Structure 1
Amino acid sequence: MHLRTLVEVVTLGSFAAAANRLGYTASAVSQQMTSLEQHVGLPLFERTARSAHPTEAARAMVRASNSIFAGLEAVLEAARGAHEVTSSEVTVATYDTLARAVLRGVYEDPEIRGSGIRLRVEIHNPSIAVRTISSGDCPDIAFVYRFSGSGLAWPPAMRQLDFGRDRYRVVAPAAWELDAAGPPSAEVLSDIPWVLHHPGTSDAIAVDSAFRSAGIRARAMGHSDNFDVAMELAAAGAAAAFVPEIVTTGIPAGARVVDVPSLDLARDVHALVSPSAPGPATNAVLSAIRRAMPGPTRARPSVPAAEPEARPEPAH
């Protein structure tokens, strides 16, 4: 593990670049290199206050590593061949909104039910899934999402499959009738309460940027990273929410999706497949997940309130 990290550091020229490629932090890479130096008993980097340059010993280790990794790959290939013949268990790591949308369909898929494949499911947010992969504790399939420009990266050994884009949609109390006269303006959307992500998270940063680009000054009545809770607050008439389209398949009565063309945000969904995953079983699970993925969603008809609610007055 540390030798692979050394190869990336020497090849890319810095701890930070290697950390980005491998999904670590720069400090974690530095700690690995210190541990490797202690193990080999030689200095591998000449460190200054601003940089670390590989020594000739480090470069020699990198040159010699090619044959080591080639031999290791041959060993792994033999293991994969045996694994594909004998294994029918597939481990899937996914984030909660995708799990809620597809897992029941996958378990009920006739091709999975009749195949003898055993599914093992782990729920992680994407950053934790990538750290798990980078640490070597790799699931057969890991589903992650990232926003355009996101720094989230994973080891190049993982095979990346694209599963489309999950567009964000505005969900608001049906009684507000925000789009009665067409798509609501930025002024109208700045005048209502919102339930937003907790500040500082990667999702919150992406959502805040989308609001700013649309000229919307979103006023928070509360914070929640749980999209089901956010939609329930919309159904209760308390606030609007900005949520991935995949969760709107379960929109509660009393809330509806409002089309806001100027508010543009989507996250790209990827499946990362381990090189050691059992081929036929893994492909069958991936196909079942594609079949279970919801298409473009529309809000279900909501039950109108007995007494229509007025849109809340702006705070002063």
Structure 2
Amino acid sequence: MKRIALFHLETLMWIERLGTFAAAAQRLNTTQSAISARVREIEQQLGIALFQREGRRMVLTARGRRLVQASEPLCRGLEQVLLEASDHAGATGTVRIGSGEIAAASCLPAFIQTIERERPGVTMEIELDLTARLLQQLLSGTRDIVFLAGPVASPGMRTAPIGSVDLVWAAGAAVAKAGGFATPLPVWSLPDHSPLHAVTLATLESHGLSPRALHTCNNVRTLIEIVANGTGAAVLPETMIREHLSTGTLREVLPRPRQSVHFEAAIRTRERDPVILDLFARAAGLEIDGPGD
């Protein structure tokens, strides 16, 4: 009979947090069968059932909840002591990071560079997605840290502001030279659940403009290329088109919107993993690159 070890207790905590053996296996970089074996070993050692199935989720029994509640501070405390003893330099593990495209272009490279330099034992898994899906992934436990267009409020989430990005009404050089909105233009935007879409509609209305068509695309870099090639105009993040503006391949065709897009780093409120908390503290110190001079 195997004795109960720290990794057994960690397994229980991740199953309780994520709700399924499969999700816990993914988080711990092992197989679902290995997770099941660990649970059986603990149950056999203690002589009690720790989980019961409710639909697709595995839910702790009353005794299982007491064990996890008592074990979690002990496990996290030990991890914290060991990390602090090495000034976190020995931190290891996989951290799953989600980001929107604008935040990824504006602040993620500096964050990644810092983590790679100061936490070389940490493996990063990065996925770009839309804010609504990133929020769902964070709350469901499939992402550990996310960078969101905000402000976003949720009782299950802890956030830290990391700055804002100014927006620019831009068109290609030929369109701008021909007078921009002097004649009806096609307008391009991110889909309607994006903050950029709301700003696009609001500023068109405030200027009394009716575009020839309102097209959408869910990729900002593709939007930039479409507009730079002379197909209409769009509200675009200044940080992502600064070089285009400096070279003249994109030009401003309306006054800049007063609205900007704010960004936040976020983790789950219940997050206790010291490595993730350390990375979140670093993310909270980020500042998105501000407007150019």
Same fold (TM over 0.5): yes
Residues 1:234 and 2:227 are matched in the alignment = yes
With over 3 angstroms needed to count, the CA separation of the structure-2 counterparts of 1:171 and 1:158, relative to structure 1, is same
Residue type of the alignment partner of 1:139: R
Give 1:244's aligned amino acid: P
Q: 2:92 aligns with which of 82, 88, 91?
A: 88
| Aligned residue identity for 1:120 | E
Does the CA contact (< 8 Å) of 1:162 and 1:270 recur in 2?
A: yes
- Which of the residues 217, 220, 225 maps onto 2:213? 220
**Equivalent position of 1:105 in the other structure:** 110
Q: Is 1:78 aligned to 2:35, yes or no?
A: no
> Can you list the C-alpha shifts for 1:138-174, whole angstroms capped at 9, x where unaligned?
5331111137xxxx543x2422101122222112223
Measure, in 2, the Cα distance between the counterparts of 1:139 and 1:79.
21
Indicate the SS of the match to 2:107. helix
Whether contact under 8 Å (2:170, 2:235) holds in the other structure is: yes
The residue that corresponds to 1:201 in the other structure is: 193
Contact persistence 1:170–1:258 (CA under 8 A): yes
Percentage identity across aligned positions?
A: 19
Shift of 1:257: 4.5
> What is the deviation of 1:280?
5.8
Question: Could you tell me how far apart the structure 2 residues matched to 1:293 and 1:258 are?
Answer: 22
Match of 1:191 in 2: 183
Matches within 5 A, 1:49-198: 75-84=71-80, 85=82, 87-89=91-93, 90-109=95-114, 112-116=116-120, 117-135=122-140, 137-146=141-150, 153-154=153-154, 156-177=155-176, 189=181, 191-197=183-189
- Compared with structure 1, are the counterparts of its residues 211 and 247 closer, same or farther at alpha carbon in structure 2 (3 Å cutoff)? same
Cα pair distance change 1:296/1:78, threshold 3 Å: farther
Cα distance between partner residues in 2 of 1:120 and 1:106 = 13
Residue 197 of structure 1: how far off its partner (Å): 2.7
For 2:201 and 2:65, how far apart are their aligned partners in 1? 44
Distance 2:65 2:166 in 1: 41
One-letter amino acid of the counterpart of residue 229, structure 2: A
Q: Which amino acid aligns with 1:162?
A: P
Q: Distance in 1 between matches of 2:205 and 2:238?
A: 20
Work out the CA distance in 1 between the residues paired with 2:241 and 2:190: 20
Partner of 1:269: 263
CA separation in 1, counterparts of 2:78 and 2:128? 28
Which whole-Å CA distance do the structure 2 matches of 1:259 and 1:287 have between them? 38
* C-alpha separation in 2, matches of 1:71 and 1:167: 50
Instruction: Provide, for residues 70-107 of structure 1, a one-character-per-residue CA deviation record: whole Å limited to 9, x for no partner.
Output: 98655443343344446433332111222233333333
Check 1:161–1:71 CA distance in 2 against 1; reply closer, same or farther (3 A cut): farther
Mapped contact 1:190–1:216 kept (Cα < 8 A): no
C-alpha distance in structure 2 between counterparts of 1:237 and 1:99, whole Å: 26
Q: Determine if contact 1:195/1:221 at 8 Å carries over to the other structure.
A: yes
Flag structure 2 segments of 5+ consecutive residues without an equivalent.
1-53, 56-61, 84-90
Question: What is the letter of the counterpart of residue 196 of structure 1?
Answer: W
Partner-residue secondary structure (3-state), 2:162: strand
Equivalent residue pairs, number: 224
When normalised by structure 2's length, the TM-score is 0.59
Maintained 8 Å contact 1:190/1:219: no
- The offset of 1:237, in angstroms, is 2.1
- In 2 relative to 1, CA 176–94 (structure 1 residues): closer, same or farther, beyond 3 Å? same
| Matching residue of 1:306 | none
How far, CA to CA, are the matches of 2:105 and 2:213 in structure 1?
26
Counterpart code for 1:268: H
CA contact (8 A) 1:93 1:123 kept: yes
Distance 1:81 1:210 in 2: 52
TM-aligned CA distance change 1:115 to 1:157, over 3 Å: same
- Cα RMSD after superposing both structures: 4.1
